[in-house]
Amino acid sequence: MAGSTEAIDFEALFAAAARVQTFAYAPYSRFRVGAAILGDDGVVYPGCNVENAAYPSGSCAEQGAISAMIAGGGRRIRAILVLGDGDELVTPCGACRQRIREFAAPETPVAIAGPGGIRQMFSLAELLPASFGPDNLRR
């Protein structure tokens, strides 16, 4: 994985994601996801998935964490951890990869965790290669 993960407390991110995962609103899928972002301001911002009977109207955990970061005054993602249950890796969906890209550099670490801890680390560039982001729109 590209980028440095030094000075990032992934245990704190895991704890925040695990805590908020329990609050996920998932009455339809029963698949609860928690996420936690370390913002550029040093604050950890958690988020959980919130389903809706009209499925496309729900929101992902990553989306909730990004909204919490922006509402809290943070502007850049230093690291993000996504926590899901099951044997398979629960990586951000395509839409969330693009949402993360809006606030994160390609080398930003993305930790993927299960109930037992971190399973795999990626850089955002590994999850979203050759991405379109804010720099594409700067003149």
Query: Which residue numbers are catalytic?
Result: 62
What's the N-to-C CA distance of the chain in angstroms?
30
Per-residue exposure over 65-77, b if at least 16 CB sit within 10 Å of its own CB, e if not: bbebbeeeebeeb
Rounded to a whole number of angstroms, the CA Rg of the chain reads: 14
Angstrom distance (rounded) from CA 117 to CA 111:
10
Dig out the tokens for 69 from the structure: 């970061």
